[in-house]
Amino acid sequence: MNDLTAASRRMAAQELTDDSLGVVSAAAAIRNGEITSEAYTTGLLQRSRALAELNAFITIDEDAVLAAARDADKARAAGSAAPLLGVPFGVKDSYLTKGLPTSLGLDSLAHFVPREDADAVRAIKRAGALLFGKNNLVEMSYGLTGHNARYGQVKNPYARDRVSGGSSSGSAAAVAAGLVPASLGGDTVGSIRVPASFCGVVGFKPTTGRWPRDGVAPISHTLDTTGAFARSVEDCILLDQVMTGEQAAAQSSNGGYDLKGARLAFAPRQFLELVDTDVEIRFREVIRRLADAGAEVVEVDLGDDFNALIQTATWGIFAHETMGAISEFLRRHDIPTTFEAIYDGLKPQLRQAWGHIALPGGAGAISTEAYQTALNVSRPEIQRRLDRAFVAHGADVILQPTTPCTAPLIEEQATVHIAGQEVSYLALANHTVSASSVGLPGVSLPVGLSRAGLPIGLELDASLGSDRTLLALARKIEGVFGNGPIAI
């Protein structure tokens, strides 16, 4: 298709955009000359303007991204075979981006333009990707619903009156709505996997420390990790190669449906105690279908106090490290503000939360002794129990519903209803916090819709460092359920 006319290229771009290409397929189409990066990017820009009401992006520099797309087309003509050549990416606005504003979700940094890229942004650019724009997020990544006082609520592409999840809210919504094929996000206790579940996309949280995270606004140096949203596990496999330089595990040629030899664990006493009926019914149907596809599914019990243990330890570490982590980040990267100034400018609910748990002397802040106990006693105990599932039971992954409910209504996001109970919105991370507590890799896959037409996610957590094995297995499981429709 190298001799396409301008009109036919525009038509092809629109068709490919409507078909919602993923990263791998978009890169292949550009590499093979089926479409230009400029035409593809133009189509995505048109779509982003048409769906601006989602509030998925804070900043898009259209001239800059189109110039980068034209440069990619020139590089392709000159023989470049970079793996992400010409593919536009969204990036959560907690990542530093050279020449493009990085707000961290704050009004006071709306016009701050960094002099450098975060390491992960540098990695995708080296691989040929384009920075399409900066995705909306919860202020300082401190929240799970997608509300931002300055830049607006990110809306769920499946239902505009529902939350997108957070804190990587705009990243998930942008991929779900077909505005970009992938976006970089961040995850501390569930900020990738929760919105991936609510928006019906794939969300990948690598083993903590596996992907570069320098240049990304932190919450907790113990728990933070960078990661990605994409349309397929195949796209996450490619991104993992770009970020780490490791080659992916060999893929089978059976279409991904045969799970013979896979051993999957689930812990109903820990992860089905407080879930909506629709979510539990779908999860149990997923378990049956995986068994029908050849997997061996085993039930495990992580202990009566497991949930209390992970909640206390993980949230304690999360809050105790916030002030120091943010202060150090601001200093190292010459960001023109202070922790105190950020605190003073937060929306009232978030300022109250920081004052309660993140500031020294706050009524809910944990002591240094309790923090050390969480790190040196609770985390090893959590790891020991999870290892029992991975080692003693021989499980490749532990399965659970990613979130205990589907996306709540925007008007009910402070307290949410799960299984007939009114609970704090923090309960949205009840399942994702398990992997975060000890840094396990996790993937959320879309596995169907509720009776109300809202996405339901399945989380797969694997042992430390087994990211490539996790992704290979997730790709097979994805083959059983498919990628699902793109929300519009």
Summarised one tens digit per residue, pLDDT across range 162-189 is 999 999 999 999 999 999 999 999 999 9
Which position among 20, 103, 191, 444 bears the catalytic label? 191
3-state helix, strand, coil in the chain (%, to 5): 45, 15, 40
Mean pLDDT for all residues in the chain: 94
- pLDDT at residue number 466: 97
Instruction: Read off the tokens for 373.
Output: 């106990």
pLDDT above 70: percentage of residues in the chain: 93
Q: Is 92 annotated as catalytic?
A: yes
Q: In the structure, what pLDDT confidence band is assigned to residue 34 with cuts at 50, 70 and 90? A: very high
Quote the CA–CA distance of 103 and 136 in Å, as a whole number: 9
In the chain, where are the structural domains located?
A: 6-481
Strands (E), 253-395: 263-266, 296-299
Residue type, 97: T
Quote the CA–CA distance of 479 and 220 in Å, as a whole number: 35
Quote the CA–CA distance of 129 and 318 in Å, as a whole number: 32
Whether this model's pTM surpasses 0.85: yes
Q: What class does CATH assign to 6-481?
A: alpha beta
Summarised one tens digit per residue, pLDDT across range 469-487 is 999 999 999 999 987 656 6
Q: Is 125 annotated as catalytic?
A: no
Contacts (Cβ under 8 Å, ≥6 apart) of 400: 266, 267, 270, 271, 272, 283, 431, 434, 458, 459, 461
- pLDDT at residue number 487: 63
- pLDDT at residue number 257: 64
- pLDDT at residue number 247: 80
Which position among 92, 134, 155, 205 bears the catalytic label? 92
For 284, other C-beta atoms within 10 Å of its C-beta total: 14
Bigger pLDDT: 279 vs 4 = 279
Q: Is 169 annotated as catalytic?
A: no
- Quick check: 345 pLDDT over 60? yes
Which position among 167, 197, 437, 444 bears the catalytic label? 167
Q: In the structure, what pLDDT confidence band is assigned to residue 125 with cuts at 50, 70 and 90? A: very high
- Quick check: 6 pLDDT over 70? no
Quote the CA–CA distance of 166 and 354 in Å, as a whole number: 17
- Quick check: 2 pLDDT over 60? no
- Quick check: 454 pLDDT over 70? yes
- pLDDT at residue number 250: 58
Q: In the structure, what pLDDT confidence band is assigned to residue 115 with cuts at 50, 70 and 90? A: very high
